[in-house]
Structure 1
Amino acid sequence: MMENSNLKRKRSFAGVLLLLLFVAIAGVVYVFQTDLKQIFPGTYPGVVPPIQAKFSFLKDRIKIQLSREPSSDRIVVFAYDEADRQVAILKPIYDRVVKIMPGDLADFRVDFTKGKNPGFEVFKKANNLMEEVNFFDLMLAAKAGNLKFGVQECLYPACSMCVSACPVIANGVITMPRLEDGRIHPLIHHGGCPRSGKCFTLCKMGVIYKTDLRLSVKPDFLDKGNEDWSYFDKAKGDEN
C-alpha cells in the first residue's frame, strides 16, 4: 500500500511539473510572438507605379498634365543636361497640373557619374542661393537637344530615409534604380523584406506605402478610375 501511495505521489508531482513546464513554454512563446509582431507587423511595403505626364511647351510656360492623382501634393520635375546629370525642381500640383514658369530656378542636381551612389548637389540652402540654374531654359534645351526630361514622385537622393532606415539595408531590399526614361524610382525586393514598416512610415512623398499581408491593398489614388487619360483630351483647350 505504501508503495502504491508513493507511486501516486510521484506521478502527481510529475504531472504538476509537466503542467508548470507547459505553462512556462506557452508564456515564452506568447512573449516572443508578441515581440515579433511589434518588430515585424507582417505588412509588406508597396511602391506606386511611375506616374505618366504630358508636356505642353507654350510661349510663357511649360504645362505638365499628370495621368493620375499623385502620391503627394508636390512632384519632382527633372531635365538632363549635356553631362547626363539630372537637374530637378520640386513643384506644387493643382488639379493634376504642374507649371514651369520663366525664371523658375532648379533645386538640386544628381550626378550619376560618381559610381554606385550618385552625387548630389543642392542649389538652395536656407535663404542662400548656392548656384543659379534657370530650370525653364534647361527644359527648353533638353527638348531641343533630345535629352531626357519628365516627372518623378521619389525625392531620392534628396531624401534617402527609407533606404537608411531599412533594418537589412546591406541586403539591398530597397534599391533606387534610374529607369530608361531618366527618372529615379524605388524598387523593393520583397523576398528579403523584414516587414519593419519603417520605409512606408518615413516616406514623405507617399511613393512607398503600406499594404496588407497579401500585397493586395493599394491607395485610393491607384484605383482604376484615376488612370484616366481622357483627362488630357478635356484639357486641350487650355494649351492655347
Structure 2
Amino acid sequence: MRREFAWSTDAADEARRRVLRDLHDGLGPSLAAIALGLRAARQLVGQDPASAGSLLARLEEEMYHAVGEIRRLAAGAYPVELARLGLVGAVRAHVATLAGRHPVRMDVQVPGTLPELPVAVQVAAYRIVCEAVTNVVRHAGARHCVVRLWCAGGLHVEVVDDGVGAGPRGGGGIGLSSMRERAHEVGGTWNMEHAAAGGTRVAADLPVAGGV
C-alpha cells in the first residue's frame, strides 16, 4: 500500500506539472499575442476606427480559441490549432498572428511536405516554436526571425533571430526549461545558442520511430 500511495502521489505531481507547463506553453503565447493585438487596437482607435474594429473582432475570435484551449487542456486533448490545421498550418497561423502585431519580420520555411508525424512529436514541435517565437517578440529586440521545420531522419525545428543574442531571456525560467523538457520527453534534444550571424538560434531534433 505504501509503495502504491507513493506512486499515485508522484503521478499526481507529474500530472499537475504537465498541466502547468501546458498552460504556460499554450495559453501563454496565445494570450501574449492577444495582448499585443489589444495594444495595437488601442493605438488605432483614434487614427483608424474601422481598422481598430476589425482587429478587435479578430481578437475576440482568438479569445474564444483560447477558451477552447483551456477546455481541451482540461480534457487532456492536444492543442486546438493542431487539431484544426495540422503542424505546419498551426505554426504558420501562430507566427502570422505575432507578426501582424509586432515589428518583426517573421518567415516560416518548410521545404517540401512533412510526412505524418506522431501526435506527441507534433505537440512538442508546436509548443517549442510557440515559446521560441514569443521569446523573440518579447525579449530579443529582433528585426527578423525565421522558423524552419524539416524532416531528415527525424523532425528538426529551428528558430533563428537577429536580435540581442542568446541569454536568459525573460529570466530564463520555465519557458526555456519547458522547451528542453518538451524535446526530451519524446526522446529528442534541444539547444539554444548564439546564431552564426548574430542573434539566437533555438534548435530541437525530435526522433520519429523508423525515421522519416
Same-fold status (TM-score > 0.5): no
Higher helix share: 2
The TM-score bracket by the shorter chain reads under 0.3
**TM-score (structure 2 length as normaliser):** 0.26
Q: Which has the larger radius of gyration?
A: 1
Of structures 1 and 2, the one scoring higher in RCO (CA 8 A, sep 6+) is: 1
**TM-score (structure 1 length as normaliser):** 0.24
